[in-house]
Structure 1
Amino acid sequence: MNQITTITFFKYKGIFNKFWALRMMGLMPLRLKSIAGQSFYRLMGSGQNKFKPWPNWSVYALLQVWDNEASADLFFAESNVIDKFKSKSEHHYTLFLKNISAKGSWIGKNPFQRSTSLDPNQNKIAVITRATIKWNKLFRFWNYVPISRKDLVHNKGLLYTQGIGTIPFLQMATFSLWKDKEALLEFAYKQPHHAKAITKTKKLNWYREELFSRFQPFKSLGNWSDEGLTDF
């Protein structure tokens, strides 16, 4: 398939720009909805210190799924929508992704189609997870998050990670970038705290809806070097 996915991070500085970014969470989807060549999108906020549920008013993310790379290139080169986001932000960074696999659903559907043009020489792997937490599981879920994330601290295979979402506490997602598949699997299934979190997820049935997807990064725009993301 020719479908590709992009995720763009924006960092805002100053109270007026941060307030503008917050307003756009309600206003900009009306314009994003009509973007040509785009089949799915989500404009999301972020959590403090990467994964805490309290909002980080400085960082926002725009996830988009495109029919093809040409449609994405045209948007980032010519759209006044993305120009507006960039003009208000201090830093911005877009990562282009090809889907490797995706399991589950996001608002009732799986928006990601497996790519048929993966590069066997690209080892880096990106992961996007998404979940809607059940109301009666919220306290237990967020109480366990700090424990499940302990294995991320000083993890040499992790290049970048950020908690994102549309509704604080309830609808959350994560983005992470790993040096290779082995580093990801090591964290997911062999590190004790995260492995226990997977077991708890199955046992306690925390989620009303969830999705787990892996991607191959192949191109980038902008600069996020202070956070560890570099050019592709």
Structure 2
Amino acid sequence: MHLWGVPASAVPRAVARMALDRRPVRRAPGARFAKLLGTGDGRTFTVRDADPRHWGLLVAWDSAADAGAFERSRTVRAWGAMAEESLRVAMRPLASRGTWAGRTPFGEPRGGRHEGPVAAVTRARLVARRALTFWRAVPPVSADLHRSPGLRLAVGVGEAPLGLQGTFSLWDSGRALSGFAYGRPAHLEAVRRTAEVGWYAEELFARFAVLDADGTFGGREPLR
């Protein structure tokens, strides 16, 4: 995961790069799956959350060598030239359930224990007629997420301002992430209502071991 923060003067260039970089990223050697992402604070998952000064790129690679080669690509250099900060997180999938755009981008990882920081990626495509009830349900869960012990960073991500919702989060440990997912009443209620109401036409949840994290987001190093 790459997250870039740009100055206000560079926002138009960042928007342009979101269109220009789609084909080069998808055609990068070893790129299995790639999504350029807008970001937000994830408080409501509506356009009110949008953060035009932070942008993301999530790529699943065939190998670490392919990921390393991409760091020298024109795409990364272009973002680096206009960014005032950046965060790069290298990860290995531990578990993945569901699909994204009809695909299983992180394969079928075997799981296993990991001692150290973990990351989570969630993504959902909303059923249009259920969107209003979803947006009403989000604020209590989001507020609880940001209070959760062990959370280091939580960013709303999406491919479009509405309807394609997601989060990227960093945690001290797998235990901390599980504590939120399975131990917080607001989140458990949202899970129950997901099955009951049918908010999502498609959904994905993936957990990762964090191998390396370099840089800052919002002016701070999230894992330090």
Q: Name the TM-score, length of structure 2 as normaliser.
A: 0.92
Q: Which amino acid aligns with 2:68?
A: D
The equivalences for 1:1-80 within 5 A come to: 7-15=1-9, 17-47=10-40, 49-52=41-44, 53-54=46-47, 55-76=50-71, 78-80=72-74
Q: Which amino acid aligns with 1:60?
A: W
Q: Which amino acid aligns with 1:171?
A: L
- 2:199 equivalent in structure 1: 206
Tell me if structure 2 keeps the 8 A contact 1:160–1:227: no
Q: State the alpha-carbon separation in 2 of the partners of residues 93 and 196 from structure 1.
A: 32
- Report SS of the residue matched to 1:173: strand
Q: State the alpha-carbon separation in 2 of the partners of residues 202 and 227 from structure 1.
A: 37
Q: Which amino acid aligns with 2:191?
A: I
Query: Which of the numbers 97, 102, 108 marks the counterpart of 1:103?
Result: 97
Tell me if structure 2 keeps the 8 A contact 1:159–1:228: no
Q: State the alpha-carbon separation in 2 of the partners of residues 117 and 197 from structure 1.
A: 25
Cα distance, 1:116–1:225 mapped onto 2, change above 3 Å: farther
Q: State the alpha-carbon separation in 1 of the partners of residues 143 and 107 from structure 2.
A: 32
Q: Which amino acid aligns with 1:81?
A: T
Q: State the alpha-carbon separation in 1 of the partners of residues 222 and 90 from structure 2.
A: 13
Tell me if structure 1 keeps the 8 A contact 2:114–2:209: no
What is the CA-CA distance between 1:125 and the residue it aligns to? 1.3
What's the % identity of the aligned pairs?
A: 27
Q: State the alpha-carbon separation in 1 of the partners of residues 114 and 204 from structure 2.
A: 26
Q: State the alpha-carbon separation in 2 of the partners of residues 114 and 98 from structure 1.
A: 12
Tell me if structure 1 keeps the 8 A contact 2:36–2:159: yes
Q: State the alpha-carbon separation in 2 of the partners of residues 190 and 65 from structure 1.
A: 30
Unpaired runs of 5+ in structure 2? none
1:155 equivalent to 2:148? Answer: yes
What is the CA-CA distance between 1:121 and the residue it aligns to? 5.7
- 1:112 equivalent in structure 2: 106
Report Cα offsets for 1:104-160 as digits up to 9, x if no partner.
000111010355797x56322110011000110111111111012221233221111
- 1:182 equivalent in structure 2: 175
Q: State the alpha-carbon separation in 2 of the partners of residues 218 and 115 from structure 1.
A: 16
1:89 equivalent to 2:96? Answer: no
Q: What is the aligned residue count?
A: 221
- Report SS of the residue matched to 2:159: strand
Q: State the alpha-carbon separation in 1 of the partners of residues 221 and 162 from structure 2.
A: 26
Root-mean-square deviation (CA), in Å?
1.9
